[in-house]
Structure formats: structure tokens, C-alpha cells
Amino acid sequence: MAQFQYSGRDNTGALVSGSLDAGNADDVAAQLFGSSVTPIEIREVKGQGRKKAPLGKTRKAKLGSDASTVERINAFLASDKIEADDLIMFARQMHSLTKAGLPLDRALKGMEASLSNLAFREVLKGVIEGLGNGMDLASALGLHPKVFSKLFLSLVHIGENTGRLDMAFSEIGKYLELEKTTRKQVKSAIRYPLFVMSAIAVALAVITVFVIPVFSDTFERLGAELPWQTQVLMNTSNFVINYWPFILISIFGSIYGFIYWSNTDKGRLTWDEKKLGIPLVGAVLEKVALARFSRSFSIVMGAGVPIIQGLTIVGGAVGNAYTSLNIYAMREGVERGESLHRTASSSGMFSPLVLQMIAIGEETGTVDELLAEVADFYDSEVEYDLGQMSDAIEPILISFIGGLVLILALGVFLPIWDLNTAANG
């Protein structure tokens, strides 16, 4: 971990500054948001980092020499990844326990002892330790920004300050459940075309490497003049067989380069903007991002978060860097004194119906309620578009497969037909 110096403003607008240990600047920002501080500047202090043992090694060390065989097997097989289901269950249980009036340390210790996910257990141990050191719950959760999002931390902080922590965890659980449902719908829609394309790639590889060379040898022995379709297939097969190591290196190198580029700030912004323009898929991804914005902004506004801080929080929750940039531009417009409706209209992200609902919400003071309806509208649109996308992709895949079969049939059977015609003539 590294040490960062920061400056920002708290809820009262007062300037605050200090230093924090974190993995990167985003982690520092998440901790500050959890403490209801809007960061202005975050700067790493060179040479002040300190190493932290990987989670797996820490876990193994804590098992000790007296650990049972079953505990060692469970630790070896346990996943280090904290899934959405883990966070949903955590939010639901915390809602029930805090509503019953159980002290936070007892509630967390009871949950930590019952967890089967050892990675999440380690996280809760850190949270319990933070509470023991005098931190509030939001700050203790903020020590793990890769697990708990800015929205999660902000709602917990508001719940603590208003004495409605149970309601905060209830809203978090509902939000995470809707997020999980949306992800499942998107994955379900793309699973079929990905499976078909993978099967086509395997079939083409088998035909190119094993089938076409057999026909090629036969045609060469007969000395027949081959049509151009067959020559293309034979040349392609020879190229693949002779240069397959370079082809594989190029493919995997391109994939690695794309992943590396898309993980940079500039690459992520560019790719997130471009994929919104992909036919069929782009419209769905845009509506998913807008549904997240509407849902999360509705929650933070309903919780009483100031609009500027709310836009800052939800900007990092939409899952698309380009959409986040537009949301931050909306925040800057509000800071200049413009209305939410005007900044939303200038962003070009929303339909006229949604803009009208935002305008009515500003006039009536029910922005949070109307944004929740906007989120429901986008969720229904996403569900409909995913069904339409599946229906549209199927004939495209069938046409693509038919074209490949036609090319292969012409390349393989035309020479045979010519030879048969010559023999009969």
C-alpha cells in the first residue's frame, strides 16, 4: 500500500486535509466519500508505501499448525473473490440485525463467524478491528474500497448520521439485487451467440487443419485445374498449418494488448464510448448505465445527500467511463448554478420523457421518486431490448453459418463435380 495526501470539503463546505494509506487514488476517494468528504486533490507521497501480504498468504498463515485437515482443505478450495450474492446477503442480514437493535460489533462478529467465504471473513475482521479502534461503520467499511462501492459507503454513512442504518442496508440490498438481475439478463443474452461463435471457430479450425489438406493432396495427384474457391481454401489451409505459432501469438498478443489498453484511463474512456455505438448491443449498454444512474441517484437523493455530492457518488457507480464523464459534467453545471433539468438536457443522455420527469421532480421536490420511476422505465426497456437482440442475432448467425457452409461446399465439391463431368464426357 502507498500513502496519499488529500484535501477536500466536508458536509459543511469546510476545507479538510490529511493522509491515508491505500492501494491507489481511487481507494482513497472511496474512503473519503465514506467519511462524507468530497475530495479535491489526492496526491501520492513517494517512498512512503508499505507492503501488505496477499490475502491468500495471510489466510494460510492464520490457519496455524493446529488447523484440522478439513479447515486446510476449505481454505485451499475457498475463492478469494467476493461475489454480488455475498454483498446482498451481508446487506440483508445487517438490515435485520440493526433493525433488531443489536450492537454493530456483535452483529459483525456473528456474521464473520458464520461466513463460508474466507475472503469476506477477512474483510469483516478488518471492519471489526476498525470499529474497535473508534472508527464509525462507514469509515471501517471504507478501508476495503474494492469490496464496498462509493454508493454503499455513502448510504451507510447517511444511515449512521440519521439513525436509520437498518433502512440504509435495506436500500442497499434492493439496489444490489436489481444490479444482479440486470447482469444476469445481459449475460443470458450474450451467452448463446458467444457459444455459437466459439463452435464455429472450432469447426473452422478442424476443417482447415485436418479436412482441407486431405482434399488438397487428392486434387494435386489428379492434376486437375482447380477453381479459385478451392485455391483460396487450400492457400488458407497451408498458411494456417505453416504459420500457426505466429497466428496464435498474434491473437493472444492482440487480446492482451486490448485488455491492457482498455484498463488505462484513456483506453477505458475511449472503449466505453465506442461500445455504446455497437449495433444492437450499444443501445442496451447505454440503457443499463442510465438505469444504474437513475436508481442510484434516486437512492442518494432520497437519503438526503446534497445533489452535487450525489452526482459525484453515482458517477462512479454507472459502470461506464463515458457516461460517468457526462454525469460529472452535469455536476459541474449544477455547481455553476444551473438546474438539474438543464444540465441533464445538455448531456444528451436522456430521452424527452425522462427530461420531463426530471423537470417535474425539481418543481415538486420529488426528484428521487420520479428518478426511481425512470429507473423502472429503463429496466423494462433493457429487458425488452435484450429479448429483441436475441431475436435479431439468431438470423444473423444462421446467415453467417450458411455463408461459411456455401464457401466450403463450393471449394470442396466444385473440383469433384468438374472431374466427374470430364470423366463422363
47 and 126 both lie in a single domain: no
232 Cα distance to chain centroid: 42
43 and 67 both lie in a single domain: no
102 and 36 both lie in a single domain: no
Q: What is the CATH number of the domain that holds 409?
A: 1.20.81.30
114 and 200 both lie in a single domain: no
Q: Which residue has the higher pLDDT, 75 or 328?
A: 328
Q: What is the mean pLDDT of residues 300-309?
A: 81
Q: How many domains does the chain have?
A: 3
| Residue 256 binned pLDDT confidence (cut-offs 50, 70, 90) | very high
**Residues whose CB is less than 8 angstroms from the CB of residue 280 and which lie 6 or more positions away in sequence, other chains included:** 389, 392, 393
Q: Say yes or no to pLDDT of 35 above 90.
A: no
103 found inside a domain: yes
120 and 12 both lie in a single domain: no
CA nearest 234: which of 249, 222, 217?
217
Q: What is the mean pLDDT of residues 12-32?
A: 71
Q: Where is average pLDDT lowest: 139-148, 257-266, 408-417?
A: 408-417
248 found inside a domain: yes
Residue-wise pLDDT for 368-407, tens only, equals 888 888 888 888 888 888 878 777 787 888 888 888 888 7
Q: Is 350 helix (H, G, I), strand (E, B) or coil?
A: coil
Q: What is the mean pLDDT of residues 349-356?
A: 82
Q: Where is average pLDDT lowest: 26-35, 150-159, 297-306, 390-399?
A: 26-35
pLDDT of residue 271: 92
* C-alpha angle 326-328-330 in degrees, rounded to nearest 5: 70
Mean pLDDT of the residues in the chain: 80
Q: Which domain holds residue 143?
A: 55-148
| Residue 50 binned pLDDT confidence (cut-offs 50, 70, 90) | very low
| Residue 1 binned pLDDT confidence (cut-offs 50, 70, 90) | low
- Asked whether the beta carbons of 368 and 301 are under 8 A apart, the reply is yes
| Residue 213 binned pLDDT confidence (cut-offs 50, 70, 90) | confident
Q: Say yes or no to pLDDT of 60 above 60.
A: no
Residue-wise pLDDT for 82-133, tens only, equals 888 889 989 898 888 888 888 888 888 888 887 888 888 889 999 998 888 8
Bridge partners, 42 (sequence order): 6
pLDDT of residue 55: 41
230 and 117 both lie in a single domain: no
Task: Indicate the pTM of the whole model.
Answer: 0.67
pLDDT of residue 391: 78
156 found inside a domain: no
Q: Say yes or no to pLDDT of 425 above 80.
A: no
106 and 184 both lie in a single domain: no
pLDDT of residue 56: 40
CA nearest 33: which of 135, 124, 156?
156
| Residue 198 binned pLDDT confidence (cut-offs 50, 70, 90) | confident
pLDDT of residue 261: 93
pLDDT of residue 163: 79
pLDDT of residue 76: 53
418 found inside a domain: yes
37 and 84 both lie in a single domain: no
The segment with the largest mean pLDDT, out of 71-75, 145-149, 301-305, is 145-149
> CA–CA separation, 152 vs 130, rounded Å?
17
115 and 204 both lie in a single domain: no
Question: Is residue 259 classed exposed, middle or buried when 0-12, 13-18 and 19+ CB atoms within 10 A define those classes?
Answer: exposed
Q: Last residue of a domain, which of 98, 130, 148?
A: 148
Q: Is 425 helix (H, G, I), strand (E, B) or coil?
A: coil
Residue-wise pLDDT for 146-194, tens only, equals 888 877 887 888 788 777 888 888 888 888 888 888 788 778 878 888 8
pLDDT of residue 259: 92
79 found inside a domain: yes
